[in-house]
Structure 1
Amino acid sequence: MTEFTIGEVMPFGGYHWRILDIQGNAALLITECIIEQHPYNNSPGDVTWADCSLRKYLNGEFYNKFTVAEQSRIIPVLNKNHDNQWYGSRGGEDTRDYIFLLSIEEVACKYFGDSSKNLENRSPKQRYWFQKQDKNNDKRRATFDGYRWWWWLRSSGRDNRRAVYIHGDGNIGIQGNGTFRYSSNTIHPSTGDNSGGVRPALWLSLEL
C-alpha cells in the first residue's frame, strides 16, 4: 500500500486534498484550496449545520459528482456539533456525513496548529475575532481562483443566523457571518460574488 503522511497533498475525485489526519487505513482530507462559493443556508432564520442547505448540497449533489468507485472509498462519519463556546448558540444535532465542513474546535485546536488557549480563555477584547496575531493564522489561509478568500466552518456563530468562518487573513471569525445574507462587502474579483468559500472535508479509505 502507498505510504501517506499528514500534510501531504493528494489527488482524489478531480481535486487536490491536504491530509489532516491518518487513523489506521483512513485519512481525513480537506481541499487544498477553496473550490466553490455557496451560502451556508438558502433561506433566512435560525439554522444549524444539521439542517442547512450547504450540508444538503455537500452530501447530495456534490457527493454524487464522485464516481461509484470513489464514493465507495468515502467513509461516513458521525460529527459532533458543539454549542458555540463564546456565545452559547446551539450547535444542533450530531450528524452523519459523507462530506462536511470542519468545526471551530477542529480548526482552532487540532489540524492547523494548537490555538486552544485562545478558544478556551478568550480576553475581553476578543468579541468577534481570535487573536489577530495568532501564530497559526497563516496555516488557515486559503485561496479561491488565485485570491485569498473567506471560508465557512460548520459551527454556529454568536447566534443561529450566523456561522463561524475563516477570514482571508486566516483569523477565525468566531461571531460568524450571516448564513443567508453576509456582512462581507468584499466581492470576489473573478466571480463578482461575496458569498463564503467552501473547503469540503471527508474521511477516505486509503485501501485501493
Structure 2
Amino acid sequence: MQVGDKISFGSYDWRVLDIQNNTALIITECIIEQRAYHDAYKDITWADSSLRKYLNGEFYNKFNATDKSRIIPVINKNPDNQWYGSKGGADTQDSIFILSIEEVVCQYFGDSSSKLQNRGKNQKYWFERKDENNSKRIARLEANKGGIWWWWLRSPGRVNVKAVYIHGDGNIGIQGNNILKGNISDGKCTGGVRPALWLKL
C-alpha cells in the first residue's frame, strides 16, 4: 500500500493519505453524506459537536467487529483558527473524525501552509482562488451522481457558530459555514462529510 492508493474498507472506497508504523490514514474518496456540523446554532467546538458524536457512535457501529478491530483511536489536536483566533477546543480521542484545516492545507493535499500563515491584507474569507493545490481538495457527492460539492473540516470558522469547509472548487472557506444550516442559501443543511480514520495494516 502506498500514499495515494484507493482501497476498499467497510462499504466505502477510501484514499490513503499517510502511512506510519503499519497504520494508514484514510479518507473516503467521495463525500458520503450531508449532515450538520452540530444540531443547534450555538458556540461549539469539535469536541462537543453532534457530527463527532455521530461519527464515533452510529457511523462507527456500521462497521463489523473485524473492521472495528482495525480502526485505531487517536488523539487529535484542535488548534484555534489562525486568522480569527476562534477556539479549536480540547484535544479529542477519535476513532473516526474529519480532517482539520492544518491537515488539509499543510500535509495531505499539497502544502499551502504559507497561505494559512500569511494572510493577505485583502483576504477576509478565502485563500486565493488560484492556489495550486485547490484541485487536490475537490470532492464529489456520492449520492448526487458524482456532482462536486463542499465538505466540512473540524476546525472552527471566524466564530464558533461556524466551521471551516472546503468549497466546491477546492478553495478553503476559512471563515466557515453555519454549523446548523451549512450554506444558508442552499435552504437546508448540505454540509458534506468525508470521514477519516487510522487503519491497522
TM-score range, shorter chain: over 0.9
Deviations, residues 66-110 of structure 1 (Å, cap 9, x unaligned):
000100000000000000000000000000000000000000010
Task: Tell me the matched-pair count.
Answer: 198
Runs of 4+ in 1 over 3 A off after TM superposition: none
Corresponding residue for 1:66?
63
In structure 1, stretches of 5+ residues that fail to align are 188-192
What CA distance in whole angstroms lies between the structure 1 residues aligned with 2:41 and 2:159? 13
**1:183 Cα deviation after fit:** 3.3
Deviations, residues 171-190 of structure 1 (Å, cap 9, x unaligned):
00000001012334247xxx
What CA distance in whole angstroms lies between the structure 1 residues aligned with 2:71 and 2:140? 25
CA contact (8 A) 1:46 1:161 kept: yes
Identity %: 64
Larger CA deviation: 176-185 vs 53-62: 176-185
Give 1:132-171 correspondences, 5 Å limit.
132-144=129-141, 145=144, 146-171=146-171
TM (norm. structure 2) is 0.96
Distance 1:199 1:55, change over 3 A: same
Larger CA deviation: 175-184 vs 151-160: 175-184
What CA distance in whole angstroms lies between the structure 1 residues aligned with 2:96 and 2:75? 11
| 2:8 is the alignment partner of 1:31 | no
Q: CA RMSD in A?
A: 1.0
**1:194 Cα deviation after fit:** 4.5
Aligned amino acid, residue 179 of structure 1: I
Q: Identify the structure with the greater helix proportion.
A: 2
- 3-state SS of 1:58 partner: helix
CA contact (8 A) 1:185 1:194 kept: no
What CA distance in whole angstroms lies between the structure 2 residues aligned with 1:204 and 1:194? 30
Aligned amino acid, residue 94 of structure 2: D
- 3-state SS of 2:105 partner: helix
Give 1:26-175 correspondences, 5 Å limit.
26-144=23-141, 145=144, 146-175=146-175
Distance 1:50 1:194, change over 3 A: closer
**1:162 Cα deviation after fit:** 0.2
Larger CA deviation: 95-104 vs 176-185: 176-185
What CA distance in whole angstroms lies between the structure 1 residues aligned with 2:93 and 2:70? 16
- 3-state SS of 2:13 partner: strand
TM (norm. structure 1) is 0.93
| 2:193 is the alignment partner of 1:198 | yes
- 3-state SS of 1:185 partner: helix
Aligned amino acid, residue 45 of structure 2: T
What CA distance in whole angstroms lies between the structure 2 residues aligned with 1:115 and 1:37? 26
What CA distance in whole angstroms lies between the structure 1 residues aligned with 2:186 and 2:170? 16
What CA distance in whole angstroms lies between the structure 2 residues aligned with 1:182 and 1:17? 24
In structure 2, stretches of 5+ residues that fail to align are none
Corresponding residue for 2:178?
178
What CA distance in whole angstroms lies between the structure 2 residues aligned with 1:49 and 1:128? 21
